[in-house]
Structure 1
Amino acid sequence: MELKGALKPSFRKRASELVQNHNLAILVVMETRVGGDRAREITSLLPFDGAIHTDTIGYAGGLWVLWNVDRVDIALLFSIEQKIHAEVKVRFINISWLFLAVYASPRNAERQVLWKNLMSVAELHNMPWVTAGDFNEPLLSEDKFGGRAKAKEWNKNQFGNIFIRKKNFMSRLNDIQRGLALRPSYFLVKLEDELLRDLDLILSQEEELWALKSKVNWMIQGDRNTTFYHVSTLVRWRRNQIMAIKNAVEDWICEEREIKDFIRCGFDQIFLSSFSCVPRMDPVVSQWQPRLSDSEKESISVGAFEEEIKAALGL
């Protein structure tokens, strides 16, 4: 059984319910989008004793295999960003088998690397082999190139066209807020709170829909030499550029030279001191300040004698 969305607030509760309802010994979590210490922190809160994590590719990917050590013993054989390959030993009945957890890349070139790796592994053993996950390989071309229509159909069946619902809710909310501005009432305040809660749900559903559409686009076109790929590249390039910036008085600066000067001045203000340099002067000694006489200065500047050292040490 698979579980997605490791960063969602409801993830821990859903994982616990899966374990309780299905008596899971092994759990695979795909597309976690989190790795390193953060991944270990999340899995330490789940009802499992063992865990294997793969690294994410930026903010994408990520694969976890979690298990209950009282029921199975899992030894990692090999792992990359797209898969975790391990040997599973079932306790008390002495049965062993190979387990492969996969979340394949939507890019064809990276999937080819995965398939070649799997063919090499298959030639090295004859043990029972269980595979779980997502290979991102549609069996039929209709499943792949019909993705957009299916996404629209899913939106309509699941949410009743989320965009129309969002527009209607925003219109109702604006009407209620205008009414509150003219004549406040407890009924309108309560109705506004209810609409805001419903609007939060709609916005969450809209985010889920856009995530689905984004995945469909990558599955259909990926890194092929298409308009989608080139537009995606241009969007990312523009996103990484600073096209405008606000100055200290909240005015937008759009000229490239002015932007550079503004950023440079900002660093100058951080790392340069505003204090002026003054020449070093000899300290002025007040006539009321205690001073050493010439004989006292001479006596403390003389080296210590052997007798003085012995007397100080009590010898």
Structure 2
Amino acid sequence: MSWNVRGVASCAFRRTLKEFLRQYNLDIVILLETKVSGNNARRIIQGAGFNYFIIEEAQSFIRGIWICWKDNSISITTLESNQQFIHTRVQRHNQDPWCLTAVYASPQPNNRRVIWQSIERTAKNMGEPWLLIGDFNEIKDGTEKKGGRPIDLRMCRNFANWIDRCGLVDLGFIETRFTWRGPQWEGYDRVFKRLDRALSNPSWRTKFQEAVVKVLPRTKSDHHPPLLMKNEGTDCRNGRPFIFEAMWSMHPDFRPFLEKHWKEDIMFIQNLNSLKKDLSKWNKEVFGNIFKTKRRLLNRINGIQKSISYGKNHFLDNLETNLKRELEDILDKEEALWLKKSREQWMVEGDRNTKFYHTKAIIRRRKNKIHKLRDANENWIEEKQELKDHIINSYKRLYQEEVIITPLRIDNINMPNLDPLVCRNMEMIPTDMEIKKLLLSIGSLKAPGEDRFPAIFFKNN
């Protein structure tokens, strides 16, 4: 959790912090604009129950950044620190490390430029999963502000471009859009902005796929705290419907399988429905899990390269060559899988782009995920089963309601006369060439229709 507290000395702050700790079981807490330093800072931190902490001291009762945690299995090491950010490496026992940057950007634009330049330099050399969270004191487009004076589009573009140059993605939010409640100037509505956010590089986003940013209620400060949490409550992927995977067609046995199971004596739709069951079984028994296969191949290649006989045994040399060829085939299939899931309309030439497509797919999945819904009584529903029941019942009511159809009166409407040739063309059955032309114009990996087969299946077969 990151929280711009606007001072930590009050009893009200300590009471609110303890409630957050109790309710959300926080692993790491970042406090910004603490306005307290020295022994007073350490006394407040230890009084809140934290055993470990990193402090960027407040200067003359302004600023101040604290990173606090309780669990001794978490190790946080400072890599760089100044008045506007603390850059650290985080490692939990027996897990790979990742980088965390706690940000409190200056309200002054000239001072902010210094931190943007410093973080951009860090980004160029970043080889680990990396998360940045805090108060950036910037917005990147018009949707992140409400009220007040008109936005400065140039500053918005500069901030958005900076995020792109650093290779970062915005982790989004659930709950409240605006994280800061500002003043109300004469002649204007009160201003609200989304100043607090979490950004990450693609490696962190793929490492923590289920992470979401929940904006907590604003208390004892003019900022809402963003809470980064693992969302497990609404994962509804069990029992998901069949969908054709483009990577299946890359398997050498796919074409013979299709010819064997496609029956000429039954209707087209019946063939597709029958093929769904056969393909699901073939996927499990023949095609297999590409991620398990990739791990197995990498382990075998690693074992060969560690062998004492490596480089001296022709059998091992040939086996390594064959395994690497199999690995390349698996990597091609993996890239095809993530390309489809990312909904990208193009493929970049050159290096393999699996990581890019994987990141895009995760971002898209997070945006499409339903975390909560409001019922007819204005109550929020968050539990997985309650969400399912609410959606099903809503559609049941929608389609069970009696609809009164009022006939359209066209007695007094003058309809234009259509040319006889146009009428005949409208009644003509489409030719095979017209159907083929229309099919080829559809994006190969566009979302499939009710049959769950994307256009690439019909194009290639």
Q: TM-score, normalised by structure 1?
A: 0.45
Give 1 or 2 for the bigger CA radius of gyration.
Answer: 1
Q: TM-score, normalised by structure 2?
A: 0.32
Q: Which has the higher helix share?
A: 1
